[in-house]
Structure 1
Amino acid sequence: MPRLPHPAPEDLRGDPLPLRGRTALVTGASRRGGIGHAVARRLAAYGASVYLHHHVPHDVAMPWGADRPEEVLASVRAALGDPDARVVAGPGDLTDPAAPAELIATAASAVGGRLDILVANHALSGSDGTLDTIDAAMLDAHWAVDARSVLLLVQAHVRLRPPAPGGRVVMMTSGQDIAGGMPGEIAYALQKGALASITRSLSTALAEQGITVNTVNPGPVDADYLTGADYEAVAAGFPAGRWGMPDDPARLIAWLATDEAGWITGEVINSEGGFRR
């Protein structure tokens, strides 16, 4: 096999819109304070058309509450790098086994007929506990949202997208296998660990179809869910003295979606800013 030539000088300078013409679905993008919103803004700024999935009832039930979908949509549209790109939003309850395939089809149709990039950012918050307090209902709830729906989204994405270079899948995990783990969130840690474990298998399965698969652990991110002394204690664990912000993992995820990251697949990448547990 001949060796590949060195890139031409103009290819080394980079494209200010490296995702122009690409299309993306970002799940769990219902709050301007969240990672999903930050990822969608980065993808849009890089030139992609983006479909934002939201499930407002989940956030309404949480202490942090929900934003109005039109506010999130407007924020992402304001970041568009390509005036011809589209930003669309829609709901989806991913506890329904049929919802992932429906969401993929709806998103693809809304942004041009196909999807290149899938960022599975959604997760179930709450309904969890320690080994002593978890029960079957907690385990089933987290399995349905945090693992099953992600695999069904990937399956539907692969079935709909013709084999071609430039396909991307990015899943999210939570550092459950680092240092002390997550003993207070057993159901959540179990399902996020499943995504980390399946990353390499999925990347091998999808390589021939031109799709890379990677999983990102964003570490502790200030998504408006913690305040006071607990917030300061976490901040002290970072060498920089601050929490990660949503745009910190978003920059990594957006880069993984570009051609610059085409040689990166099957990896679980920790983006934790040196956090010390």
Structure 2
Amino acid sequence: MTAERPIALVTGVGRRIGIAAGIVDGLADDGWDIAFSYWDGYESRMPWGPDTASHDELASALRAAGARALAVPADFEQPDAPAALLRTVNDELGPVRALVLCHAESVDSGILDTTVESFDRHFAVNARANWLLIRAFAEQFAAGAAGAALGRIVALTSDHTAHNLPYGASKGALDRIVQASAVELAPLGITANLINPGPIDTGWMTPELAEALRAETALGRLGTPRDTADLVSFLLSPDGGWMTGQLLHSNGGFHLPV
């Protein structure tokens, strides 16, 4: 627990079983101090419901492992939430050196049954909030650091589109925002990449769906949060500093063309 540990901010750590929580665990093992955001209002609208105790439990586990940890609620439907989150983390822990964007609004609907309210909420959370988080993150860095790779941005994306219109469309917008960041923020020494983790079993799959997805995966199993966390760890490491502007599929060969 020293000031020398860099600080990573991971968004969307709503459940202990989720991908974001696996990423947090991996980064703490790598020597990062951790701030993470959550929003129980989203979890309460999902079939699994909120896991309110998990936030304090995860923060305590991180501290026990030697990391400083800060859990912050953040409602990304609100346009002032991203900048407020970065200010809170900066005041409590220090400047953020890695931004890992895992939060998402995700409610299935298609072309004919998506409501305007749902469409706007998806874009507010999955596109606008990520742009504002990236902007607030970049504002911490001074100009003239090109080539130094001082900061890291990693975002989780998806290629799901049909019957998931607002989610898929807003994730497409996220892809473009992050790829633009790789170019525009390079003079600040910031890299920016996307990870498409494919289907990860975090408790939302029926047994039948899990088996069908496993059968479509070349390596013969479903992904785990740790599979994604390992790639995030690489991208945030010194060895990952030459990677930027990439959309990486880390999915065990899911749905490869035959």
* TM-score normalised by L of structure 2: 0.91
Give the letter for the 2:220 counterpart: G
Displacement after TM superposition at 1:187 (Å): 0.6
Any runs of at least 4 consecutive aligned residues in structure 1 with deviations exceeding 4 A, and if so which? none
Q: Is the 8 A contact 1:26 1:118 kept in 2?
A: yes
1:121 is displaced (CA, Å) by 0.5
- CA drift of 1:239 comes to 2.3
Matched, 1:94 2:80: no
State whether structure 2 residue 188 is matched by structure 1 residue 209: yes
Task: Give the 5 Å matches for 1:1-277.
Answer: 21-67=5-51, 68=53, 69-78=55-64, 80=65, 83=66, 85-111=67-93, 113-126=94-107, 128-163=108-143, 164=145, 165=148, 166-176=150-160, 182-276=161-255
Q: Once structures 1 and 2 are overlaid, which stretch shifts more, 214-223 or 233-242?
A: 233-242
Evaluate the alpha carbon distance shift between residue 239 and residue 122 of structure 1 in structure 2; reply closer, same or farther with a 3 A threshold: same
**Unaligned 5+ runs, structure 2:** none
Q: Secondary structure at the match of 1:160?
A: coil
Q: TM-score, normalised by structure 1?
A: 0.85
Does structure 1 conserve the Cα–Cα contact (< 8 Å) formed by 2:62 and 2:68? no
Letter matched to residue 98 of structure 2: I
Q: CA deviation at 1:212?
A: 0.3
Q: How far apart are the structure 2 equivalents of 1:63 and 1:135?
A: 20
Q: State the Cα RMSD in Å.
A: 1.6
SS in 2 for 1:202: helix
Contact 1:24 1:51 (C-alpha < 8 Å) held by counterparts = yes
Q: Is the 8 A contact 1:175 1:270 kept in 2?
A: no
Preserved contact between residue 117 and residue 167 of structure 1 (Cα < 8 Å)? yes
> In percent, how many aligned pairs have the same letter?
36
Say which one has the larger Rg: 1
User: By how many angstroms is 1:234 displaced?
Assistant: 1.2
* Unmatched 5+ stretches in structure 1: 1-19, 177-181
The number of residues matched between the two structures is 247
